[in-house]
């Protein structure tokens, strides 16, 4: 029996392009900081990957930089703490965010609140950013806004461009950061279109290996020294992120991005068709699809089971070789109901009975058939909770 992997929002299998690049890069063992040829060969791989990332982000020359990090979480900590350390405006104490951010943002903000920042969370009921609440939160005290582009549990696409444009119009000095980990290479956007000064991305969500991510930083942020490094030391990555670069991971990240670049429309079409097929099949069994009322990414399908704990169903599916998720990979370590699903409007019990199915271009219709067949058996056999 072939394993059926439908947990692509947690992580993805490596693409052939990434694997091929890894085979090439393992032979290049020099330290990119070394001045000899072995070092420069490694630096060349890093530079090539950086150029690919900047091109995929639609960054024009001298408009901004891309700093490699160890993952999306580190990129976000760098963005949020790096700006907080650099802050000079004493009156800027308010940070705007949503009530459904990934823990890499939410927990970083918990820390900043201990440092005296006031965190204002904009509601995202039914997967839609509340524009009225945003208007009310606008104030000259705004220091920074951090909004995710795509919610990792529901697939909801938030109107980050609209929100950041409004914030910048009212307060041009406010810094805007977008966690685009789930949207990068799936949705078309550029820093200019998003009105974003900082953008977090991660490699392992798009068929690159785990252990590599990065932060886009606008030239203006660097010039005005509105961000300082989070990791300090040897001054790698133009002084913005010390630590010897993960050359193999970085070059595979570049290759994975490059592989998707020319095929974005084709991949998106395939996944949209799979989504349609999955919705049709799921509508015939006793589950509810938590479909955002605004725009959403077709690859993420969140369902609520009728009084069956998601973990119980997850293990039943896993025994059949079908892999989905009972919330984000991070929140599966926690006993609390998912903040994202509660923000969406689910009760704690419903959140506890919800599964996330996340597709990639490597899934086929047969995978959906197998999932729905196994879900149907589970719905009949598994113990219901009160």
Burial of residue 48, with CB atoms counted within 10 A of its CB: 0-12 exposed, 13-18 middle, 19 or more buried: middle
- Report, in Å, the least distance between residue 152 CB and ligand PLP: 3
Residues of this chain, 293-352, that bind ligand PLP according to CB under 6 A:
328-329
Please state the φ and ψ torsions of residue 313, each to the nearest 5 degrees: -65, -40
The residue nearest ligand PLP at its CB is: 72
Query: What secondary structure does DSSP assign to 316-343, as a single string?
Result: HHHHTTEE-BSS-TTGGGSSSPPHHHHH
- The residue among 117 and 147 lying less far from ligand PLP, judged by its C-beta, is 147
- The residue among 171 and 230 lying less far from ligand PLP, judged by its C-beta, is 230
- The residue among 73 and 363 lying less far from ligand PLP, judged by its C-beta, is 73
Torsion, Cα 374 380 385 386, to 10 degrees, reads 140
Give me 224's structure tokens: 């005005």
CA dihedral (74, 76, 81, 82) positive or negative: positive
Give me 279's structure tokens: 């919705």
Q: Using CB under 6 A, which of 213, 229, 249, 337 touches ligand PLP?
A: 213
Applying CB under 6 A, does 79 fall inside the site for ligand PLP? Answer: no
Query: What secondary structure does DSSP assign to 60-114, as a single string?
Result: PTTTEEEEEESSHHHHHHHHHHHHHHH---TT--EEEEETT--HHHHHHHHHHHH
Give the total of residues touching ligand PLP (CB under 6 A). Answer: 14
- Report, in Å, the least distance between residue 62 CB and ligand PLP: 28
Applying CB under 6 A, does 148 fall inside the site for ligand PLP? Answer: yes
Active-site residue list:
330
Q: Using CB under 6 A, which of 7, 99, 179, 352 touches ligand PLP?
A: 179
Please state the φ and ψ torsions of residue 330, each to the nearest 5 degrees: -75, -45
- The residue among 191 and 213 lying less far from ligand PLP, judged by its C-beta, is 213
The CB density around residue 282, as the number of other CB atoms within 10 Å, is: 19
Applying CB under 6 A, does 181 fall inside the site for ligand PLP? Answer: yes
Quote the CA–CA distance of 11 and 384 in Å, as a whole number: 30
Q: Which span (50-58, 71-79, 224-232, 319-327) binds ligand PLP, by CB under 6 A?
A: 71-79
- Report, in Å, the least distance between residue 291 CB and ligand PLP: 19
Burial of residue 194, with CB atoms counted within 10 A of its CB: 0-12 exposed, 13-18 middle, 19 or more buried: buried
Q: Using CB under 6 A, which of 50, 102, 195, 316 touches ligand PLP?
A: 102
Listed in sequence order, the residues at least 6 apart from 91 whose beta carbon sits closer than 8 Å to its beta carbon are 140, 141
Q: Using CB under 6 A, which of 64, 72, 209, 249 touches ligand PLP?
A: 72
Binding mask 103-142 for ligand PLP (x = CB under 6 A): -x--------------------------------------
Applying CB under 6 A, does 71 fall inside the site for ligand PLP? Answer: yes
- The residue among 152 and 218 lying less far from ligand PLP, judged by its C-beta, is 152
- The residue among 102 and 275 lying less far from ligand PLP, judged by its C-beta, is 102
Quote the CA–CA distance of 129 and 156 in Å, as a whole number: 10
Quote the CA–CA distance of 102 and 339 in Å, as a whole number: 9
Applying CB under 6 A, does 202 fall inside the site for ligand PLP? Answer: yes
Applying CB under 6 A, does 250 fall inside the site for ligand PLP? Answer: no
Applying CB under 6 A, does 209 fall inside the site for ligand PLP? Answer: no
- The residue among 157 and 287 lying less far from ligand PLP, judged by its C-beta, is 157
Question: Which among 195, 154, 180, 96 is positioned nearest to 354, based on CA atoms?
Answer: 154
Applying CB under 6 A, does 196 fall inside the site for ligand PLP? Answer: no
- Report, in Å, the least distance between residue 202 CB and ligand PLP: 3
Applying CB under 6 A, does 152 fall inside the site for ligand PLP? Answer: yes
Which residues make up the interface to ligand PLP (CB under 6 A)? 71-73, 102, 104, 148, 152, 179, 181-182, 202, 213, 328-329
């Amino acid at each position: 029996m072939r394993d059926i992997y439908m947990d692509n929002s947690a992580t993805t299998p490596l693409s052939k392009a990434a694997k091929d690049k890894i085979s090439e890069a393992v032979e290049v063992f020099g330290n990119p900081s070394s001045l000899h040829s072995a070092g420069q060969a490694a630096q060349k791989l890093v530079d090539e990957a950086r150029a690919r990332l900047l091109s995929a982000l639609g960054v024009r020359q001298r408009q901004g930089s891309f700093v490699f990090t160890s993952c999306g979480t580190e990129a976000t900590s760098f963005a949020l703490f790096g700006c907080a350390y650099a802050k000079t405006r004493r009156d800027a104490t308010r940070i705007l965010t949503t009530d459904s951010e990934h823990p890499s943002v939410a927990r970083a903000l918990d820390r900043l609140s201990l440092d005296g920042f006031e965190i204002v969370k904009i509601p995202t009921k039914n997967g839609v950013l509340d524009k009225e609440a945003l208007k009310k939160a606008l104030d000259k005290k705004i220091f920074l806004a951090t909004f995710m582009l795509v919610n990792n549990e529901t697939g909801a696409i938030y109107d980050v461009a609209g929100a950041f444009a409004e914030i910048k119009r009212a307060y041009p000095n406010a810094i805007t950061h977008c966690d685009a980990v789930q949207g990068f290479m799936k949705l078309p956007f550029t820093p200019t279109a998003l009105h974003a000064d900082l953008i977090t991305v991660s490699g392992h969500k798009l068929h690159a290996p785990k252990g590599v991510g990065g932060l886009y930083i606008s030239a203006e942020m660097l010039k005005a020294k509105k961000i300082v490094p989070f990791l300090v030391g040897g001054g790698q990555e133009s002084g913005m992120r010390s630590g010897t670069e993960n050359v193999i991971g970085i070059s595979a990240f570049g290759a994975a991005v490059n592989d998707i670049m020319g095929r974005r429309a084709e991949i998106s079409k395939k996944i949209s068709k799979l989504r349609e097929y999955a919705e049709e099949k799921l509508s015939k069994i006793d589950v509810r699809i938590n479909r955002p009322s605004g725009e959403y990414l077709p690859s993420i399908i969140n369902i609520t089971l009728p009084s069956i704990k998601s973990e119980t169903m997850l293990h039943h599916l896993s025994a059949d070789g079908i892999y989905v998720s009972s919330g984000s990979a991070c929140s599966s370590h926690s006993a609390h109901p998912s903040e994202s699903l509660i923000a969406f409007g689910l009760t704690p019990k419903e959140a506890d009975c919800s599964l996330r199915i996340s597709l990639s271009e490597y899934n086929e219709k047969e995978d959906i058939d197998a999932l729905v067949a196994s879900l149907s058996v589970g719905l009949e056999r598994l113990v219901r909770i009160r």
